[in-house]
Structure 1
Amino acid sequence: MTATNPAPTGPVLHSDLTQAQCDCLDELPLSGRHLVSGPPGSGKSLIAAHRAVHLALTGRPTVLLTRSNLLRQLLQPTLSGLTVPGTDLNVSTVHSWIRTRFGHSAVATADGWFDWSALTAMAAESIDVSESTVSPHLVVDEGQDLPPAFYKMARLAAVSITVLADECQRLTDTNSTLDEIASALGAATRRHTIAGNHRNTREIASFAEHFRVGGVRPVLPFRSGPRPEIRRYSSSKSIADDIAALAVRAPKQRIGVIVNSLRTGADLMRCLERANLPSEPQLYSSAAPSGRYRDLDLTRPGVVLVHRASAKGLDFDTVVIADTETDAVADPTEATLRMAYYVMATRTRERLILAWQGTRLPRHLEGLEGWAVLR
């Protein structure tokens, strides 16, 4: 009788996983509380997806959480491609999960979050001492953008928690440092690191270093490419014309246009819709309840316009930061501003353009001639 190999029962690892990413996954036990930190481009979101699949194989429900709805949309197809049939695995925004978990008891507060003390008390009252399969595994991506109080609640509401974070990429007013996350999760929390930058070129990463706040200086990538460009424009239409030209020359690339002003985003979208591009441009609005401006296809080529608050975790072949002049009056040494540009600059794989309008170069872009081309 000819022996046959049994069908594999575990998840199929993503073909793009590096050895360092595999090692990071292998050293994470399937229980407990874990905090994984790493720089932009180290693959934290990919690790988060694999980690969620591994935990779902234990038989408990597992939820991959994000703060951003746009990041949730980006992770959904990745998770779908990895999920083993029959497992209870979902990806959700934190807001949606909390409303599902606590129902009408999850009362919104003025900061856009919830009464964490009340939710923590309810989570404590419902601790599953029988160890049934009710309490979920939680995996949190971009965990630095959640408040410490969330983690104090979550440690009681979940059977295990794995958080992936980079404190140099905090973009919200209610955020957490790595120490704050670890403290909120408790003394038994194990900390792990993942190194490497597999997204940016050396030129992009070197430029981004001028904006990094705190943390350990990451090792620069070896891959090389064009230097970032700082370009002056006369109008939004001239910016849109350049973006359209990029899209026509490279129809298979994904071009991310990041704005600080919703008005700029709308103006650019109107111009791009008239430009007869190879692929229809997409614009994301967190205010849209559903439909065209809420549900995007982030896997297809073309132009995607997003507000900087929604850029976390995304990546593109080319990034255009379209309205840097909106930061001209800000203190260029201010940490929030620097972190915003660190995040935006590191979203690109190949090319970075920082656009500005006006008569004077914005102060936070001064002194960068050695790392960027001024046009």
Structure 2
Amino acid sequence: MTLTFLDLAPAQQDLLESLAPDSNHLVSGQPGTGKSVLAMHRAALLDLMGHSTVLLARSNLLRQQLAADAVAVGSSVPVLTFHRWVINWYQRATGTAPGRTEDGLFDWLELMSAAMSVGLGQLEQLVVDEGQDLPQQFYQLCRVLGIRMTVFADEQQRITDTQSTLAEIEKAMGSTTRHEITVNQRNSRPVAVLAGHFHVDGDPPLLPDRDGPVPQLLRHTGGRQPLAGWLSAYATAYPRRSIGVILRHTRAQTELFAEVSRPPHDLQAQMYIGNAPEGPYRTLTPGKKGISIINRASVKGLEFDTVIVPDTHIDSGDPTAAELRMLYYVMTTRARQELYFCYSGDREPPILADVPARMLRRSMM
């Protein structure tokens, strides 16, 4: 549900009102503190004050969510991926497309050279959501261009291949005011407790007061049909819930989508595939009730009433590895109310085997 400014919590309103319009700001907060909503409102407020403003996200799926939220509150602020913004800026500055390295990334040396040639200009202000997912070079580029930025970030959610810590973002931006928001507005207390188990370093997140069921670890026999049957029964029992099904591999997404879409289930599920060509699988209706099948790589910034992760048995890596723990931290905190981790086989996945029963109940699917 999209919130107007007056619907925001007092701490969220106070934060927005404390952000000077002509300064750089770095706002940190745990999942569920409303960073995406605040980013959208920050951009809308800057626009109302007469500042040309663009709202940025790394992923196309989060861009869609932010754009829908902006429209819902009557804002006309453009919402772009940071890739698109960089391409647009470079084409305006040089008349050509930016170069790429052999691995497909931006040639930041070329971009920086162009920025120094252009010099300071009257460019728009930028508001960035999930700023930890963007590379340091992007912030350095904006600093050279003299662009004012407001960045919302959480370094506990650094699970992309182009990521930055809060300290790196602050250093790259230059003169920056730091802010923090701490109140979890999204998760139930049991979900937040489990998320704290995966927290990597620093202070654990503050726990919300709202109660809910303890997350569950479900063992299943494997295969698409039993899982599809269970999902169908769950979606039928709770037709008014948004249900996010998070999978690691695109093939598993498409196979499960096909299974739940055919008889006897006939579910009106939606699916998002980040590397799909333009079409039905490159868009997702934000807040839609029923099942949404999403890749792990695209889930950042989203939230659902219920989250189901069917394939935890493939996570056999070191359970103490920061990257894996951050991934589970992100997936856990997508759930507003209910959370189900699922696996097949005789042994619980190492990342979940040491979670106490008070945090994660075990049962069969």
CA gap of 1:209–1:261, structure 2 versus 1, over 3 A, is same
CA gap of 1:225–1:275, structure 2 versus 1, over 3 A, is farther
What's the offset of the Cα at 1:15? 4.5
2:126 partner amino acid: L
The one of 234, 239, 264 aligned to 2:252: 264
Q: Which whole-Å deviations, capped at 9, do the CAs of 1:104-144 have from their partners, x for residues lacking one?
A: 34122344431112212212322345xxxx40100000000
Look up the match of 1:244. Answer: 232
Aligned pairs (5 A) from 1:53-72: 53-72=44-63
Aligned pairs (5 A) from 1:339-358: 339-358=326-345
CA gap of 1:158–1:271, structure 2 versus 1, over 3 A, is farther
1:144 partner amino acid: Q
What's the offset of the Cα at 1:155? 2.1
Q: CA RMSD in A?
A: 1.7
Look up the match of 1:172. Answer: 160
What's the offset of the Cα at 1:159? 3.0
CA gap of 1:276–1:112, structure 2 versus 1, over 3 A, is farther
* Helix, strand or coil at the partner of 1:293: helix
What's the offset of the Cα at 1:344? 0.1
Distance 1:213 1:111 in 2: 29
The one of 145, 148, 168 aligned to 1:160: 148
Look up the match of 1:289. Answer: 277
Q: Which whole-Å deviations, capped at 9, do the CAs of 1:153-188 have from their partners, x for residues lacking one?
A: 0223353100000000111122000000000001x1
CA contact (8 A) 2:126 2:150 kept: yes
Which shifted more, 275-284 or 365-374? 275-284
1:366 partner amino acid: A
CA gap of 1:223–1:277, structure 2 versus 1, over 3 A, is farther
Which shifted more, 191-200 or 51-60? 51-60
CA contact (8 A) 2:120 2:144 kept: no
Distance 1:109 1:193 in 2: 36
Distance 1:259 1:112 in 2: 25
Look up the match of 2:64. Answer: 73
What's the offset of the Cα at 1:99? 1.1
1:293 partner amino acid: Y
The answer on 1:119 being equivalent to 2:107 is: no
Q: Which whole-Å deviations, capped at 9, do the CAs of 1:253-310 have from their partners, x for residues lacking one?
A: 1100001122221221111102566861011111112111001212221111111110
2:8 partner amino acid: L
CA gap of 1:300–1:124, structure 2 versus 1, over 3 A, is same
1:24 partner amino acid: L
CA contact (8 A) 1:279 1:301 kept: no
What's the offset of the Cα at 1:239? 1.6
Distance 2:301 2:353 in 1: 27
CA contact (8 A) 2:132 2:154 kept: yes
2:315 partner amino acid: D
The answer on 1:14 being equivalent to 2:1 is: no
Look up the match of 2:17. Answer: 26
Look up the match of 1:362. Answer: 349
User: Which runs of no fewer than 5 residues in structure 1 stay unpaired?
Assistant: 1-11
Q: Which whole-Å deviations, capped at 9, do the CAs of 1:35-88 have from their partners, x for residues lacking one?
A: 00000100000000010011112333211000010001111111112345xx6x
Look up the match of 1:6. Answer: none
Distance 1:256 1:126 in 2: 44
The structure carrying a bigger helix percent of its residues is 2
CA gap of 1:157–1:302, structure 2 versus 1, over 3 A, is farther
CA contact (8 A) 1:257 1:321 kept: yes
CA gap of 1:32–1:362, structure 2 versus 1, over 3 A, is same
Distance 1:50 1:286 in 2: 26
CA gap of 1:242–1:279, structure 2 versus 1, over 3 A, is closer
Distance 1:282 1:334 in 2: 32
The one of 76, 97, 109 aligned to 2:101: 109
CA contact (8 A) 1:41 1:199 kept: yes
Look up the match of 2:73. Answer: 82
CA gap of 1:351–1:49, structure 2 versus 1, over 3 A, is same
What's the offset of the Cα at 1:95? 0.9
CA contact (8 A) 1:248 1:277 kept: no
Q: TM-score under structure 1 normalisation?
A: 0.91
Distance 1:276 1:63 in 2: 46
How much identity, in percent, do the aligned residues show? 43
1:316 partner amino acid: F
The answer on 1:224 being equivalent to 2:218 is: no
* Helix, strand or coil at the partner of 2:251: helix
CA gap of 1:297–1:222, structure 2 versus 1, over 3 A, is same
User: Which runs of no fewer than 5 residues in structure 2 stay unpaired?
Assistant: none
Aligned pairs (5 A) from 1:177-326: 177-186=165-174, 188-235=175-222, 236-275=224-263, 280-326=268-314
Distance 1:107 1:99 in 2: 10
CA contact (8 A) 2:24 2:149 kept: yes
Distance 2:234 2:274 in 1: 26
Distance 1:275 1:51 in 2: 46
CA contact (8 A) 1:261 1:323 kept: no
1:237 partner amino acid: Q
* Helix, strand or coil at the partner of 1:209: helix
